[in-house]
Each structure stands twice: as C-alpha cells, then as structure tokens.
Structure 1
C-alpha cells in the first residue's frame, strides 16, 4: 500500500522542471469549459475564479504531488473566469430583426466572402431610424452587382443601401457557431448590397496601420500582376482580399494554405534572414568586428524586423505566436541565456490566451500550436539523441521531417474543421517550402529595404518567380485524381481527445508519454463510428437534407448554398448541391418536396406559393416551411416562428422513434444568443 501511495509522488517528481508547458493546457481547459456551458455563469462566479489565481504562486508549498494539482485547478479556474470576462468585455448590440435601408460607416477591414464577393467591415455605424444604443458596433456587407465605387480605401466613410440581419447560428446542431464567432469580433450584423457604394468622406486620421498595410499591398501588386501579386501582398501585408477563392482552394487542397497564413515559417525566415544579414554585415565593419556584441546587435535588429512584420501582417493568431517565440529566442540571445523551446511555445500560448481566450476555438490557433509543439518535441528528441546527418542530406532530411511532422500534427485539426485531407500534401510541401525559404522570403525582405529607393521591383520580380512556382504546384497537384479525400465531421469531443493524446506524446517526459496512444486510439475508433443525422433542417426553413444510401438528398438544387455545402462536407461524402438535389425522391424544383423514410415522412414547403398547396399533413410527418402557416393533422411543424426558437434541427431515426436535437439545446442561453422564451426548447406541434 505504501508503494502505491509513493507512485504519484515519483510520477510528479519525474516531471520536475518540465511542468511549465502544461500551464497553457490548464488555461485552455478552463476556457473550453466556459464555452461548453449551456447557461451563462453569474458574474460572481467569474470574479471568484479570477480571485483564486494568486494561489498558483503558492503551489510549491503544497509538496511535489499536491502542489502541481492545486496549480492545475487554480489555472483551470483562472482560464474559466478569463474567458467569461472577455465575453462580457466585448459585449455590443446585435441586430435582432431584418433591416433594409441606408447604412453609413467607416471602412475598417476588407476581405472576400466564400462566393468571392468583396466584403467591407464598417464601424461608427449609422442605421436609418435606429436608436444609436441599439445600433451594432460593426457590420459586414458583401458587395454584389455593379459597383460605381470601385476603389474603397481604409478609413473612407461610405453609405449604401443594404439588407442586414443578425449573425446566424450553427447550420446544424453542434456545428460551427457563427453567432459566437461574431460576438467576439463585435460584429452585430451581416448582409449584402446590390446597389453601388457611395463615398461620403475620404479617409481622415486614424487607422494608420491598416492604411500602411493597404498601401504596401497596392505597391506590391503594382509590380506583380494577377494571382502572383495578390499572393505577394498576402505574404508581405497580410492582405488577402485580392486572392481568388479558386487559388485559396487549390492551396488548401494541396496542404499549402499555411504559406499564405503568416506563421512561424515566415516569421522565422524573416528574423533569421535579417539576423544573418546584419551579423555578417557588422563583421565586415572594422569598428564593430571586434566589439564582441555583434550577435546581440544582429539579434536586436532582427527583433525590430520581426515586430514590424507582425504589425504590417495584421497580427493573426499564428503570427502572434510566431513573434512571441522569435522574440523570446532573440531576447535570450541578447542576454546570453539559454532558450528552452517548449517553454517558448508555452509562453506564446499563454500570451495569446490571456489576450484573446476565444482564440482557443479557432483552427488557426489549434493548427499553429499543434504544428509548433510537435516540431519542437521531435527535433528536441533528435538533438538529445544526437541524430545528425551530414551535409545536404541533413538539409533534405530536415525538410522532409518538418513537413511530415507538421502534417501529422495539423492533419486531425484540418480534417475536423475542413472535412478533407490533402493526399499529396507532403509532396507539394517538399517542392514548395524550400522555394519559400530560399527565394520568396529573402526577396520580400530585400524588397522592403529597397522600397524607399524605388528599386523594390528588382527583388519583387525574383520573388514573383518563386510564387509562380508555388502556384503552379498548387494548381497542378490539386488537379490530380484523389488529391482531396472527404472526411466525415467527428463528434465535438473527439478533437479534444486527440489534442490530449498529442500533448501527452509531446510534453510528458519518460516512458509515460506513450500512454497518449490510448486516447488517440479511442478517438480514431470514435471518429470512424461517427453517426450523421438522418434529417437536417436549416434554421431559416429554406433547406432540408435527408440521408440516403447514396448520400444526403437535398430538397433544393439552388439557394442556401453555404448551408448545403457545409452539410455535404460534414457528411464526408463530397458532391455538390445540384447532385445532392437529384437524390431527392421527387423533383426538388417543386414548391412542395416530399420524401418518405422508414419511420417518418418529410415535406418541405417553399414560399407562399407552396404554402397555398398544402392544408393537411399526417401525424408521422415532419413538415418544414420557409413561411409561417397553419396545418391540420398533427404533424411536427418547423416554420420560421418555431425555428427562431429552436435554431437548426437534426433528427436521428432510432428504434424508439425519431430523436430530435436542436441548436437551442446545444448552445443554451449564452451572451451571444438572443433571449429565448421559457418554452424555447419545446417543439411546436399542430393538432
């Protein structure tokens, strides 16, 4: 019995000196718990969680076993309170009705929608006949139709006539919650316009960093035309609005999308190139050659370059993580200190989570830290075992190992979020990443240095050759048969279990790390047994999807395209909306689309014309309507009034009868969801 009690103590003592990387893990657990709640916690609970955080400073007094456990619980509570406070801090009005009218605002961001339309994000919003206290802080509008105002600039005050509504919920229960995502961006309404955008006032003071980014983007694209120029602008200024969806899709399908997401690769190459250039340059000068501080001067210059790159690139999560790690390494170099790589990764994660706890839920955060943690762990293990290869063989092996390890680490995250796996991603990276490191990034830095003299075109032309090669590889490989394989969306708990397995394998020291294979095996089995809903209903009532042996059949062949594409991707079977509509038993072109499953019938009524054709329904039918209506017959009805309370709906056909799951049940009553009636989760049934 005594030996049994000694085991936890020996286990924790074996990890002494290696526990700091678990600090962001504990924070992440607390943040994740907050977002998984169905009821918003009271403010006093959040304050209590933050108030206990000083106990973490005293954890060493509790011994080698109890101390770390106390610290774990305190950090988890702190993460919980931190996420809750952040959610309250960013609170702003959300539009709770459909608005059509004049919209005035200042342009603070520009990007492209999934349909390749330019989108403007506006602040200082003014809506016609709208109380300022209820007006959203920010709105985002997609520009369709012929636009007379073709050159929007940062800071311009514009006016337009737009259709707006509050951010939509998940397209299926348990799916990506856009309302929550928009809440933390203070985005209170989204919509579109088909009329020209008019300029009210040219850009004034403020937004200087955004203006600098857009100026740099325009400068680069004036020297490099087409997709090459937009690719270069994305790398140098973090401005992707010019990139077409076709190119982004090709990069994603070949696992090269990380090349346009400014991350550790780019930051490391920029900092490394500047450091090496400054160091060798200072060695050539007689008055600095023998000073003994050449490395420190070079490191300081590289740190300034990295900070400038962070600012100009837009400061995404991956870029923040990369900068913090680079800054830690360069600072340690200036102070003649040793850098512990996993601690640098952990430090970067802590900083990002403290600033933006909601970043934990984003694919960018998950993929960035998964890749970096795995790479550091693998190369640290190789260094400890003195695994080295001579000359060019070592360089080639490093590229292969880096691509393979990063791909394996980010693969589950990419498959869970994007429902696909790039079959030839490793090959595409092997022939593209060296070009990025040897040609593209060095020429980009050189172009920035030559820009004040008007000679940046020299470096940009060479940079363009490297980008042309990467684009060629992406488009050519994406055309190969089987380049992309669809993957079914897993249950929400599967990805956290995979993350736990990966953290055990990377962070735990000793043979105990191999216990991480157990949760990994559990996750793989659970993922392979994922059950998809037999029936899906959009929260707008405009689309119904029914699972058949050939795949999901859709009640419409056009309209609600984003919802349709998401459903088909989550099913992991591929295909498009038109092909899925052909699987519907009757023509989806009719205003009333009907289908029969073993336990239940499905009827989808579209528009007022379809509603006039139906007055009765059967008790064993599920009726979905895009307009409000009244039926007799006792069926289960989902019309706009009901769907406003339930959100999207999923039905599972089980032996005891259909099991209905709603988005309202999954999300609960949170800050980012409008207040629902007390009986919101009870389905409406007509008698």
Structure 2
C-alpha cells in the first residue's frame, strides 16, 4: 500500500505545489461562509502556528508538505480578514429626496442616457462619504461632462438590494469590496460646481474612453456600435438588453466581458506583428532576442489595453497571467503551464481575496485549467496530425482545435456559470467556432486600426468594416437564441454540489497518472447533488410583496402593489423550467395544501402548517407564520412543508452578521 502511494507521489513529482492555491482558496471560502466576523487575531495566530509547525517538520517530507498547505490556508484566511477590515463601512442611506454632490469618477453610456459614479459624495451638505454613489441621469440632461467634474443634483438613493432568495446573489458583498455605497437616479439636471482639474491621468483616461465611445456611436448604429464601444473601452452599458440576452443564450457572453479572451487577442496581434517586423532584417533576426522583445511589446500592448478598458479585475487577472507567461519566455520556460496558473491564482487571491467568490474568477481559472490540462493530454495526437496533414488537413485540424478549445473551456466553466446564473447554454460550441475567429482576426484588428486613425479623424475607414463583422456575430446570436432550449433554466445549485464538482475538476486536471480519472465520478456526484436538490414549497421576498407557493406541478405567485422586478427575475429559475403562475385569491385568505395565504390577520388556522402574509400578521398561535415583519428581520425566506413539519431557511441564516450585509429595515 505504501509502495503504491510512493510510486504515485513520484509519478506526480512537481504537481503537489498546485495544491497550495487550492488550500488558500478553500480557507478564503471558509472565511466568507462564517456567520459572523472572526477576530483579527485569529488569522495571525493560525499563520504563526502553521509557520512554526512548518519549521519544526522541515526534515519530514510528507509532514512538511502538509504544513505548507496549512501556511497557505492560514495566509489566505488572514488576508481575507484584513481586506475586509480595511474597507470603510457601508453608510446608512435615508429614503426620500437627497441633495447630492460629488466628483465624477466614471461616465457610462446607457441605451436611454448616461450613468455616472460620484466619488467622495456629499449627502445634504454633509461630510464626504468614503464610498462612491452611482446615479442614472435624466435622459434630457444637457450638461457636458468630464471625469473629474464636481456636480450637484437632487436624487433618490437606495442601498444595495437584499438577496432575492436565501443564498441568492449578494449585491451587498460585491458593492462592499468595489467601494460602492448606494444607487439611484437624478431628479433634475446636473449643476456644474467645478470643472475637472487638468492633467489628471485617471480623468484623462476616462475622458479618452468617452471620446472613443462618442466617435464610435457617431459612425455605427447602436446595434453594432455599442459592442464596438465595449471591445475598445470596456463600457458595456450601452448594449441593448435584447441583444445582450441573445449573446447570453448563444453562449457568447464572454465576448462582451472584456477579460482574458480580449487580452489574448491584443497580445497575440502585437506579438505576431512585432515578431514579423523584427525578423525582416537578417542581422536583427540572428543577433537580437526577437522572441523576448516581441513578448515584451505584446505585454506592453496588453497593459495599454487594460488601462484603456478600465483596469477591471478580470482583465488585470488576465494581465497577471500574461506577465507570468512573459517571465517564462525570458527564463526559457513554458509560457503557459499549470505552475504559472497556480502562481497567478496565489497572487490574485492575496491581492483581492473576495474574487474567489466571483463568477469571473471561478469561470476563467476553471477554463484555463481545463485548457492547459486538456491540451497536454492530446498534444501528441495534434502534433502527429499537423506533421502529416495537407493544407486541407491543417484547416480541418484548426476547426477541430477550435471545437476542442470551446469544449474544454465551456465545459469546465459551465458548472460555475450554472451555479452563479442558474442557466445553461447548450449551443456554445458552434457559436464559439464561428464568433471567436471572427473576433480575433477581423473585429479586433480593425478596432485597433480605428483607434490609431482617430487622431486623424479617419476612424470610419476601420469602424465601418468592424461593424460588418460585429453585425455577423449579432446575426449569429439572434438566430441561435431562437433554437429550441437555447437557454435552459435550472434551479439554484446547493453550495455542496458546486464544491464537489470543483474538487472533481481540480483532481482530474492537476495530476498526470491514471488516478486522476477519479475526478470524473466525483464531478458526477456533484451533478447528482444538484439534481436531487428540492426547491422550496414557499418563497417570500425580502419585502413580502412577492409570495410563491408550490402546488403540485404549478407555482402560484401572489403580488402586492409594485413588486420588485429584480426579485421576479431572480425567482424565475428557482423552480427550474416551471413558470410562475399568477394566483387569484378572491377572499382575504386562501389555503393551498398545508399553506395558508392571509391578506389580513385572522384566527382559525388550525388546518394549516404554515401561514404566509404580506402584512404584519397576528393570531393563529402555535402555527409558523412568515409575515412582513418576519422577512424584514430575517430577509427572504424559503420554506419546505412535509405534512405538519415546516423547515425554514432565511437569508439571515446564510449571510449572518458580516460587514457587507445590508442593514435590514425594522417595522
């Protein structure tokens, strides 16, 4: 037994360091899953003890490795603690009209106007807040804006939305770590208090993005121009909602999210062009390290593109991995490897530990992990066919390679997309085979050419054909979105299922030898856990204006005055493909099985195991009640009814009492 284990360890030599980012990520997940904020000393104590244990066990190979994992885990936990501690708290935002002023940090074009982000905002003349505020302007606001301007208006502001159901999207946590405090809309036109100071780099970049966007929209219609703006400035807010939905249903949403694909295209174009030019001169080609020079120029091009598109976390993460690949070229190592991926993950988790909880981190790292491991497994097959094939054979192998790439990247990231968005796009392979090459070899090169021609006022020469290419992709997405089951809604996956799937995927990808195949049944087990998850029998929104009750194969929905549209959208996949059917209760109370819906307080509920009400409810002693007061205190609430037994799960139970949790209103 021990001999077999020793042979396996030897066969996997060099791979065990890949477990370090896994240990760190697991500890970060543990931190965010805690119901209350742990004391700051806890992480440092664990880190100190693990470092001491590592030093004490240094001469014992296996024990030393286990202690190294403990150091990585405690380091991740400690960094997550301190990242949270250094964020300013969320300020309470009162309801009603507020006099708002602040400095414009960002300007976004929307299909129906503009949206701005104000840094150091002041509410009703008070002290500037440490967190930003984002507001939508009136569509007819005539004030020309630049980043850095100080403006003022009257506005309605709102804090982050509470999760629509227990375990749903936590906007409060996302806003907490992105520096936002509130959202809202302007009630009047902006008043200019001070114009932007000159020569501020961040403001200059924001103004450059705004000028590029205005130039594009003046040449191209909104259907293609909004996507061109996204690709060249990172601002995707102007894309029409239906067009965005078509991209999602076709499995091409990643084209609209500037990240690794786009950085890879830009750096690939820069590398190819610079390497070609450097090798035109025989003396330079023979004496200069042209590959290293071209790689450096490609990295600089990627950094410039990242700065132009807003330096968001997904693109910075891709740039970090590209930097490691560049370093690998300089030292003569493989540009892309699992070790490089592991180092990039460690660096990013230490810099921004909250990204572990985000969609972009989970999908991008799972996709890259599968690509590296998947191509390593079939590299000899592809090499043999490329060496013996004709031109036609090479074209066929190129198409097969695109399909294989889409299968690996899409298949590995799909479980995380399903977990985060509760949907699956089954046609992502044909969509990507058509759209990705068109983006890489037509749209993006013409976009770069358009940027170069803008100072000469000749950008239309490149923008018009760029729009043709975008139009083809828009046409593809519109048609794929009409195919049967182009977007399959699935019910929310329990956290245990995605953790098991992730464990299986990691096990399958990081090892070389046959035991790696054990990851396949582990992933199947995670999928089975998701399939066996039972949706709730009753769901009540955080404001009790929406109440859903499952009755047989139907889900009945009661709505009060002005229900929250966001909550309705989030509820759509809770019961999978089962639609929500409006319920019509002619009396003040209607009973569905063991659940009583009561619009007013009453007595005589002995036949019900659960009472739900959109108003404060009294009476019915001894019966579980979910009313307006209950959800105001506990957030969205789900209930499972088995005969007379009722099991509740509240948003408060899942979120706990953390710094990013929205302060619940009280009656």
TM-score (norm 1): 0.88
Residues 56 and 569 (structure 1), Cα distance of their counterparts in 2 relative to 1, 3 Å cut: farther
How far is the alpha carbon of 1:625 from its aligned partner? 5.4
- Pick from 107, 117, 138 the counterpart of residue 132 of structure 2: 138
What are the within-5 Å matches in structure 2 for residues 522-537 of structure 1? 522-537=525-540
Q: 2:228 aligns with which of 229, 232, 247?
A: 232
Q: Look up the match of 1:598.
A: 593
**Structure 1: distance between partners of 2:512 and 2:565:** 48
| Pair 1:573 & 2:569 matched | no
Mapping of residues 376-415 of structure 1, within 5 Å: 376-384=372-380, 386-389=383-386, 390=389, 391-415=394-418
CA separation of 1:316/1:12 partners in 2, compared to 1, >3 Å: closer, same or farther? farther
1:43 corresponds in structure 2 to 40
Q: Classify the secondary structure of the residue corresponding to 1:586.
A: coil
1:480 aligned residue: 483
Q: Displacement, 1:630?
A: 5.9
Contact 1:107 1:120 in 2 (8 A): yes
Q: Separation in 2 of the partners of 1:236 and 1:60?
A: 52
Alignment RMSD: 2.9
Instruction: Give the secondary structure class of the aligned counterpart of 1:651.
Output: strand
Distance 1:162 1:496 in 2: 42
1:204-219 paired onto structure 2 within 5 Å: 204-205=197-198, 206=200, 207-208=202-203, 209-219=205-215
Change in Cα spacing, 1:57 to 1:437, as seen in structure 2 (3 Å) is farther
CA distance in 2, matches of 1:160, 1:339: 52
C-alpha displacement of 1:326: 2.1
CA contact (8 A) 1:119 1:141 kept: yes
User: Structure 1 residues 372, 630: CA separation in 2 closer, same or farther (over 3 Å shift)?
Assistant: closer
Tell me the distance in 2 between the aligned counterparts of 1:28 and 1:120. Answer: 34
How far, CA to CA, are the matches of 1:20 and 1:392 in structure 2? 38
Once the two structures are TM-superposed, the CA of residue 240 in structure 1 deviates from its matched residue by: 1.0
3-state SS of 1:673 partner: coil
Q: Distance in 2 between matches of 1:49 and 1:214?
A: 48
Runs of 4+ that moved beyond 6 A:
none
Name which of structure 1's ranges 97-106 and 539-548 shifts more when overlaid on structure 2.
Answer: 97-106
SS of equivalent residue, structure 1 residue 571: coil
- Equivalent of 2:335 in 339, 343, 351: 339
Unaligned runs of 5+ in 2: none
Change (3 A) 1:192 1:594: farther
Verify: 1:492 aligned to 2:495, yes or no.
yes
TM norm structure 2: 0.90
1:543 positional shift: 1.2
Native 8 Å contact 1:371 1:410 kept in 2:
yes
The corresponding residue for 1:247 is 243
Q: For 2:612 and 2:105, how far apart are their aligned partners in 1?
A: 39
Q: 2:348 aligns with which of 316, 332, 352?
A: 352
Asked whether 1:631 is paired with 2:618, we answer yes
Determine the C-alpha separation between the residues in 2 that align with 1:271 and 1:283: 18
Equivalent in the alignment of 1:608: none
What is the aligned partner in structure 2 of residue 322 from structure 1?
Answer: 318
Give the match's secondary structure for 1:190. strand
Offset at residue 74 of structure 1 (A): 1.6
The answer to whether the 8 Å contact 1:534/1:650 transfers is: yes
Q: Please say if 1:189 is aligned against 2:176.
A: no
| Equivalence map 1:606-617=2 (5 Å) | none
- The answer on whether the counterparts of 2:610 and 2:646 sit within 8 Å (CA) in structure 1 is no
For structure 1, list consecutive stretches of 5 or more residues without a partner in the other structure.
606-610
The count of corresponding residues between Structure 1 and Structure 2 is: 654
CA distance in 1, matches of 2:11, 2:64: 14
Distance 1:286 1:260 in 2: 41
The answer (yes or no) to whether the contact 1:233–1:240 under 8 Å persists in 2 is yes
